[in-house]
Amino acid sequence: GRTFLNRYLIIDEAQNLTRKQMKTLITRAGPGTKIVCLGNVSQIDTPYLSETTSGLTYVVDRFKNWEHSGHITLIRGERSRLADYASDTL
């Protein structure tokens, strides 16, 4: 398969990927490659995934104790007050 060498790989909407899909992407990282996974588990669009079965949740949990990884959870929305309100109430 393909190997990403010396790349900055951004996996956006990672909450919609399965564990297997995340593993497939991350295990393609070669020397010098950095991977950033972006996602919001409250915005899962895939009908067979949930907050507990999302590949993003899986990766965050499995990498949490590895010294070469990091995880950031944003506490407020960055779009607008309307988007924040809709996210909280709908």
- Full DSSP string of 23-90: HHHHTTB-TT-EEEE---GGG---TT--TTT-HHHHHHHHHTT-TT------SS-SS-HHHHHHHHH-
- Picking from 33, 31, 81, 39, the residue whose alpha carbon sits closest to that of residue 56 is 39
Determine the 3-state secondary structure of 6 from DSSP.
coil
Domain tally, the chain? 1
Question: For residue 62, is it within any domain?
Answer: yes
- In this predicted model, which residue has the larger pLDDT, 89 or 84? 89
Task: Inform me whether the pLDDT recorded for 31 exceeds 90.
Answer: yes
- End-to-end Cα spacing for the chain: 42
CA dihedral 8, 13, 14, 18 (to 10 degrees): -140
Q: State the pLDDT at residue 84.
A: 82
Q: Which domain holds residue 20?
A: 8-89
Per-residue pLDDT band for 77 (boundaries 50, 70, 90) equals confident
User: Domain for residue 1, yes or no?
Assistant: no
Domain for residue 30, yes or no?
yes
Quick: pLDDT tens for 37-57: 999 998 999 999 999 999 999
Q: Looking at the domain assignment, is residue 3 inside a domain?
A: no
